[in-house]
Chain A
Amino acid sequence: MNYILPHTWSGSIQTVTIGATKQEGGTRSVSYEIGGDTDLPFMNRSGKKPLLAYEICDDTAIWPQVVRDAMPKGISDPASWAAYGEKTLKPDCIRLNLTSTRKPNSSDFASISATVQSVLAATTLPLIIEGSADPAVDSEVYIRCGEAGQGERLVLGTAEADRYRSVAAAAMAYDHIIIAQTPIDVNLAKQLNILLRETGIPDNRIIIDPYTGALGYGFEYTYSTMERIRFAALKGDDDLAMPMISAPADSLTVKEIRESDSPSEIAVSWERATAVASAIAGAAILVVRHPGTVLPLRTAIDALWEGSRREVSDGA
């Protein structure tokens, strides 16, 4: 008997291009097209392999302790950190988290342009930037991110329902991609996409961040929300047909890690497991912070997508 999957899909995931090479008007060594999938994630190795992003920041004060402890010596600034990431961990992209903007009354906007430029110079990989999260400074922050990365087709985050205008404006003014984040709810994700479309952002410049709750602390909500977004998209809902990004950063600050004798081991395990489960639920970009996570996660994703080179015994 020949078994055939009983489901068919009418929709597909929107393609989004991130990063720009010289030919495309930027300076990256590579650009990626994400999305385009027409089936459940990884089914019969169809669709695209998720990208791995290594996340760095410009102020480690609010960075998870377990990640700070695992940082290699000699990294003094975001640029050298990005260079280390690219060279040693070989991720597909770098995410720069502008944590310096999270300080109360942050106002050193000039340094934002300089930081972005220095990171762009230090890495050849496409760049994702996580900017401020405060309406009071958003306008100043995002214009600088947008301007500093003009031509590079950055991925700019994060738009939220009550503060998306500055990110959207920067994406439109300087041709970048935007991350739209909603708190683990499929309908809110849909609404934000509609709002963004109304401001003039085309669908092929939006990436959905359904928000990744920590493993053990609500990750199941994220997992199901991602499955539902993917399902709705495949069923033909264009408002949810954008690729998704997952950043399991919350899994790095849980009690289990804080109270462990070997926090790094648990951190890598939790971050990787959360990222793999998110990929299976449909995430197109996986963002990790612990340097120890990148290589094993790469192996995991390869096994889901490419097949390992292991000899297959035939059961007999």
Chain B
Amino acid sequence: MALKPLEIYKLLPKKNCKECGEQTCLSFAMKLAQGKADPASCPYLDSEAKAALSSQTGAPIAKITIGMGSRMITIGEETVFYRHDKTFYHEPAIIYRVVDTAPAEEITALAARIREEKITRIGIDLQVNGLAVDLGSGSLKQSVTAVTTANEGGDIPLVLQSEDPEILKACLAVCGNYNPLICAATEHNYRELCDLAKKYDAPLVVRAPDVEKIGALSKECMGLGIKKIVLDITGADSGEYLSRATLVRSLALTRTAPELGFPILLDCSGSVPDNIVTGIVKFASVLITPQLPVAEMTTALVLRQNIYTDPQKPIQMTPGLYRIGDPGPDSPVFMTVNFSLTFFTLQGYLEAARVPCFLLIVETEGMSVLTSVAAGKLNESVVAEWITKTSLADEVNEKKLIIPGYASPLSGRIEDATGWKVVVGPRDAADIGRFLTEEWK
């Protein structure tokens, strides 16, 4: 079990010196307990306390970055087994693989695709994260050429896939300063690769046939001073991966095997779409895959966004006036909250109803209708505020607002506060179609 703030507090100097950046020792203790502070920030810790705190606080899974600049990937730093226990923090990186024998134009095109292609959902751009170069040609020259091409621009995070120290050395000479992921150290090459990783301060993948051997190798690398490790636990198939990932995550979180306290890599080549799904929902931090058709890419990005949503912080829509179809001055106006799920559900049914309309989204801090009514976040003044902000009155001829069924207790107050006539709509968005045909006039 992780230490509680008070247990940590007892180990601290209790000087309230503020030198760690916190106002009090107790608030520093709280940050430590959450893995959001480093014991080293306290200048007055005695060595015994420092040792005790270092092994028991901080994220049980190391935080690692790949690449540099705006597209830099951050992985690791996870603290829970189930997303419902708190949240998963860093989305797995999806990395497209290209072989070093591919023509330069193909590599450039793929890098461009990674750079430019995106889908936008709920105001967030979703993108594939990086490029893995499979340095399997056996030709040093070809490998270096391919990596040079891939690294043009220096913005796309790279994974260098080879177990040959010479090839890696040559390629790192090209891109080593851009923080690429070196993939991978095995029991045969790890000493040379550790030297390379240290030289460039780059993260290093360790790879071995089973979890025991991966752990042993990771320990060896740690012994050689390597701190940025990624564990390649790809198995024969998604089932084997799942068992391995569960084991590694559990042992890492309980801090029983510090050598496993690193992000996980899954090579999805075996059965691409299913491995990607398995990796996303179960603990992978780096997913390497051949480039995906748009449909599969969309699925992977959306699933990743879903799973890495903070369960305690619902996704919020930007409040404002949305249009379904091409509404005119006589179209109905619906109002609801800015909880994304409410918005999407309602939007879906409104679109299906094929009646052009306005949808006014008001700010309720992402709470659903029921919750926001109960918590007072949805109230007459917020509705009035957004009617004004969106100049809704200029859009329609008749000041008539359809509110969610569960917001019916507010109808009178909204009428008084806004001067709009309020019509109470259905409680369930599924009834919108019927409501529009039968009750809306």
Contact = CB atoms under 8 A, between A and B. Distances in A.
Chains A and B touch each other in the complex, with CB atoms below 8 Å apart: yes
Contact of B282 (A7, A224, A280): A280
A6 B247 CA distance: 8
A296 B274 CA distance: 9
A216 B305 contact: yes
B209 A314 contact: yes
A253 interface: yes
A217 B277 contact: no
Given A6-B250, A224-B84, 13 more contacts: A6-B251, A42-B242, A43-B242, A216-B305, A224-B311, A253-B348, A277-B277, A280-B282, A299-B271, A306-B239, A310-B237, A314-B209, A315-B208
A206 to B, nearest CB: 23
B278 A304 contact: yes
B287 to A, nearest CB: 13
Contacts of B187: 316
A300 B275 CA distance: 8
A273 B273 contact: yes
A215 B211 CA distance: 32
A220 B239 contact: no
Interface stretch (B44-52, B102-110, B295-303): B295-303
B307 interface: yes
A256 B212 contact: no
A301 B382 CA distance: 49
Nearest to B251: A3
State the 3 A-B residue pairs at the shortest beta-carbon distance, nearest first. A300-B274, A220-B306, A216-B302
B345 A217 contact: yes
Contact of A303 (B207, B237, B298, B311): B237
A280 B236 contact: no
B117 interface: no
A219 B348 contact: no
Interface of B: 82-84, 121, 186-188, 207-209, 211-212, 215-216, 236-240, 242-243, 246-247, 250-251, 254, 256-257, 260, 270-271, 273-274, 277-278, 280-282, 293, 295-296, 298-300, 302-303, 305-307, 309, 311, 341, 344-345, 347-348, 351-352
Contacts of B251: 3, 5-6
Given A227-B84, A310-B237, A7 B250 contact: yes
Contact of B254 (A6, A231, A260, A306): A6
Contacts of A266: 295, 298-299
Q: Is the interface of A mostly helix, strand, loop or mixed?
A: helix
Contact of A1 (B257, B305, B307, B341): B257
Nearest to A104: B434
Contact of A228 (B84, B239, B242, B341): B84
Interface string A208-241: 0000010111111101100110010000000000
Contacts of B82: 224, 227-228, 231
Interface in A249-293: 253-256, 258, 260, 262, 265-266, 268-270, 272-273, 276-277, 280-281
A255 B348 contact: yes
30 contacts: A2-B212, A3-B215, A3-B257, A6-B256, A7-B250, A40-B246, A42-B242, A43-B246, A216-B305, A216-B306, A217-B341, A219-B303, A224-B83, A224-B84, A256-B302, A265-B293, A266-B295, A269-B295, A272-B273, A277-B280, A277-B303, A277-B307, A280-B282, A296-B273, A303-B270, A307-B236, A307-B239, A308-B271, A310-B270, A316-B186
A273 B299 contact: yes
Given A5-B250, A45-B239, A224-B83, A273 B207 contact: no
Interface residues of A, number: 56
Contacts of A253: 348, 352
Nearest to A265: B295
B355 to A, nearest CB: 16
What is the predominant secondary structure among interface residues of chain B facing chain A? helix
A277 B295 CA distance: 17
Contacts of B280: 277
Given A269-B295, A280-B281, A315 B207 contact: yes
Contacts of A43: 242-243, 246
Contacts of B208: 315
Contacts of A109: none
A280 B278 contact: yes
B239 A42 contact: yes
Contacts of A217: 341, 344-345, 348
Nearest to B307: A220
Interface in A1-19: 1-3, 5-7
A305 interface: yes
A276 B309 CA distance: 19
A256 B82 CA distance: 28
Given A216-B121, A227-B82, A307-B237, A42 B348 contact: no
B295 A303 contact: no
Contacts of A213: 341
A217 B343 CA distance: 10
B278 to A, nearest CB: 6
A303 B250 contact: no
Contacts of B215: 1, 3
A27 B174 CA distance: 69
A23 interface: no
A307 B84 contact: no
B295 A220 contact: no
A110 interface: no
